[in-house]
Amino acid sequence: MSILIDQNTQVVVQGITGRDGAFHAQQMKADGTKVVAGVTPKKGGQEVDGIPVHNSVREARAKSRIDAAVIFVPERFASSAIQEAADNDIPLIVCITEGIPVNDMVRNYHYVRERGVRLIGPNCPGLITPGACKIGIMPARIHSPGTVGVISRSGTLTYEVVHNLTRAGLGQSTCIGVGGDPIIGSDFVDMLALFEEDPGTSAVVLIGEIGGEDEERAAEYIREHVTKPVVAFVSGRTAPPGKRMGHAGAIISGGKGTSEAKVKAFGDAEVPVADKPDEIPDLLRERLGT
């Protein structure tokens, strides 16, 4: 099984006529995702790889059942795209766009929550249930179906970890990049709760990084609520304080967000932390007893 998406998920691509939107819409379709519609204002009536383009999400939803929206629009329009999807009750919104201002994301966070829909991202690679559905930009070829859930703040590290899992014969149920910005729609705790309830997930890999306190909150949640094996990796251990490393959220400030604090929190929750990504499969096998 999986969380959030499966072989029946129908997707609309917001920004489908742009360079990134068109390319990844075609890739998602080629990887088996049911991309049933695209949206670009004033471009209605066109097609992208056989996918009908509409002027609005409302128009797209009038023509097809929409289970999820993926956003590939420039940052100045991304908040409007998120809110448009939420206004049309799209249950899952995945925002790939990076560079959305923090103050705008604070408003977006509350906007989607008040409407009872879920946001993944922004500044994320999306999510994939191998062999069933991909929403975003993850390379499907390195994934394989299985029972290991993956949650990550880093897109590139997700690919490296998944590649190692697949090579070790450890397939994945669902892999999710939650995003690397200071304010994101769904965090580690949100995803851990879903994986804990999913009968098709036997264990979870959590990939964190410096900055913020999401990993500490995740460790506390694991200690109190998660019964399945969890292993972790924390990137950025050599980053100097005050210097942003890659993601907008990956910065140590005010003495908080250090790798040491995160590793300690996981240790207190009895979650083993790999020193290198390629150590994760062995740690996982130890936890699973295989």
pLDDT in tens, 40-61: 999 999 999 999 999 999 999 9
Q: What whole-number distance in Å separates Cα of residue 66 and Cα of residue 123?
A: 22
Phi/psi zone of residue 4: left (φ > 0), alpha (ψ -120 to 50 degrees), beta? left
Q: Which CATH superfamily is domain 10-120 in?
A: NAD(P)-binding Rossmann-like Domain (3.40.50.720)
| Residue 163 token pair | 């590649």
Question: Residue 247 catalytic?
Answer: yes
pLDDT value at position 236?
Answer: 66
Task: State which residues of the chain have pLDDT below 50.
Answer: 247-254
pLDDT value at position 257?
Answer: 76
Task: Supply φ then ψ for residue 283, to 5 degrees.
Answer: -60, -40
Integer angstrom CA distances of residue 20 from 17, 91, 179, 197, 287: 8, 23, 18, 34, 39
Q: What whole-number distance in Å separates Cα of residue 261 and Cα of residue 284?
A: 22
Q: Which 8-state DSSP code applies to residue 52?
A: E
Write down the catalytic residue from 24, 54, 143, 247. Answer: 247
Is 143-288 CATH 3.40.50.261? yes
Task: List the domain boundaries for the chain.
Answer: 10-120, 143-288
Mean pLDDT of the chain: 93
pLDDT value at position 238?
Answer: 52
Span 141-167, pLDDT tens digits: 999 999 999 999 988 899 999 999 999
pLDDT value at position 212?
Answer: 87
Asked if the bond preceding 139 is cis, omega within 30° of 0, the reply is: no
